[in-house]
Amino acid sequence: MILELLKNLLFFALHVENANIFPKPLSKAKELECFEKMSNGDKNARCKLIEHNLRLVAHIVKKYTQSAAEQDELISIGTIGLIKAVSTFDYKKGAKFATYASRCIENEILMNFRAAKKSAGDIYLGEPVETDKDGNSMTLIDLIDDGVDIHEQVELNIRSKQLYGFLEKCLDKRELEIIIYRYGLYSGSPHTQNETAEKLGISRSYVSRIEKKAIGKLKEMYDSSSSY
Query: In this predicted model, what pLDDT tens digit does every residue of 76-135 receive, in sequence order?
Result: 888 888 999 999 999 998 889 999 999 999 998 888 877 766 544 454 445 555 555 565
Chain CA centroid to CA 137, Å: 24
The pLDDT value given to residue 133: 58
Percent with pLDDT over 90 in the chain: 25
Q: pLDDT by residue (tens digit) across 46-60?
A: 888 998 998 899 888
Q: pLDDT by residue (tens digit) across 150-182?
A: 445 445 555 666 677 788 788 899 998 998 888
Which of 127, 144, 161 is the endpoint of a domain? 144
Which of 113, 144, 175 is the endpoint of a domain? 144
Q: Which residues contact 192 (CB under 8 A, 6 or more apart)?
A: 73
Which of 144, 178, 205 is the endpoint of a domain? 144
The pLDDT value given to residue 110: 87
Which of 16-30, 163-177, 208-222 shows the lowest mean pLDDT across its residues? 16-30
Report the C-alpha gap between 52 and 54 in whole angstroms.
6
Q: Is 11 helix (H, G, I), strand (E, B) or coil?
A: helix
Report the C-alpha gap between 43 and 56 in whole angstroms.
21
Report the C-alpha gap between 4 and 111 in whole angstroms.
18
Structural domain for 201, as ranges: 150-224
The pLDDT value given to residue 33: 95
The total number of structural domains that make up the chain: 2
Q: Are residues 8 and 105 in the same domain?
A: yes
Highest mean pLDDT among 46-50, 71-75, 135-139: 46-50
For 4-161, strand residue ranges (E) read 128-131, 137-139
CATH number for position 208: 1.10.10.10
Q: Are residues 128 and 211 in the same domain?
A: no
Q: What is the dihedral of CA 103, 104, 108, 110, to 10 degrees?
A: 10
For residues 139 and 129, the answer to whether their CB atoms sit within 8 Å is: yes
For residues 43 and 152, the answer to whether their CB atoms sit within 8 Å is: yes
Q: Is the pLDDT of residue 147 over 60?
A: no
Distances from the Cα of 75 to the Cαs of 117, 137, 147, 190, in angstroms? 20, 26, 24, 16
Comparing 13 with 176, the larger pLDDT belongs to: 176
Q: Are residues 35 and 116 in the same domain?
A: yes
Residue 153 sits at φ, ψ, to 5 deg, of -65, -40
The pLDDT value given to residue 210: 92
Q: Are residues 137 and 154 in the same domain?
A: no
Q: Is the pLDDT of residue 66 over 70?
A: no
- The DSSP bridge partners found for residue 137 are 131
The pLDDT value given to residue 37: 94
For residues 109 and 91, the answer to whether their CB atoms sit within 8 Å is: no
* DSSP category for residue 135: S
The pLDDT value given to residue 23: 80
Report the C-alpha gap between 61 and 105 in whole angstroms.
9
The pLDDT value given to residue 9: 55
The pLDDT value given to residue 183: 82
Q: Are residues 19 and 130 in the same domain?
A: yes
CATH number for position 57: 1.10.1740.10
Q: How many helices (H) and strands (E) does the chain have?
A: 11, 2
